Homo-oligomer: A and B are copies of this chain.
Amino acid sequence: MNLPPLIQSFVLHFGEMGSRWGINRTVGQIYALLYVSPEPLNADQIVDALGISRSNVSMSLRELQTWNLVLLKHLPADRRDFFTTPDDVWQILRTLAEERKKREVDPTLSVLREILMQQPASDAERHAQERMSEMHGLIERLTTWYDDVKKLETDRLATLLTLGAKVTKLLEAKDKIVSLGRSKRTTEKG
C-alpha cells in the first residue's frame, strides 16, 4: 500500500470495518480511497494504491456498483473507466439506507408476511405467530416512517434531525393544553 499516512489510516480503518458492515475488506478500502480522492481513479491506480490484484479491484468495483455507492466516469480520449463516489454525504447516507433496507429488512418482512398467512397447527405455532406479528408490526412502522422521511430534501431532513426529541415535548405541551381544555369543558357541563 502506497498512500499518504493520513489517507492510509482512513483506508485501513474502512477495510477493518468492512466486515462489520457486511462488505469485505477490499471493498471497504476501495470505497474509502475513492471517497477521499480529489478526482476519479481508474482500476490500475487503485491496484497501485492498495497493493491488491487487478481482478480483485474489478470484482470489488462491481460490488460497489451494485450498492450504487460509486459512479463510473469517462475522460475524453481515454477508454479506461474512472470511478468516484457521490460528493454529497447526505446522498450517500440515503443510498446506504436504501440498500441496507433492501438487503437486511425487506427479505425479513416478506418472510414474516408469508409465515403469518399460514394456519398454525399447534399452540407452539400459534404463539410463534403472535411473536412474529409483533416483530412484523414494528418493522412495518419503521419502514413506513423511513419511506416518509426519505423523500425529504436535505435541509428539511437536517431540520428534523436537529429537532430530535424536542418535537415530542411540543406535542406533550399540546396534549396538556388540549386535555386541560377538555377537563374544563367537562367541569362546566357537570
29 contacts between A and B (CB under 8 A): A4-B125, A4-B128, A6-B128, A6-B129, A9-B111, A9-B114, A10-B132, A13-B107, A13-B108, A13-B111, A17-B107, A19-B22, A20-B104, A21-B104, A22-B22, A36-B128, A89-B134, A93-B142, A141-B161, A142-B161, A144-B161, A144-B164, A145-B162, A148-B164, A151-B165, A156-B165, A156-B168, A159-B168, A163-B167
**Are the CB atoms of B168 and A115 closer together than 8 Å?**
no
**Are the CB atoms of A115 and B6 closer together than 8 Å?**
yes
A176 within 8 A of B: no
- A10: contacting residue among B13, B22, B111, CB under 8 A: B111
Q: Which residues of chain B are within 8 angstroms of A107 by Cβ–Cβ distance? A: 13, 17
A177 within 8 A of B: no
For the complex, give the distance between the alpha carbons of A126 and B147 in Å. 37
Q: What are the interface flags for A122-133 relative to B under an 8 Å C-beta threshold, 1 for contact and 0 otherwise?
A: 111101110110
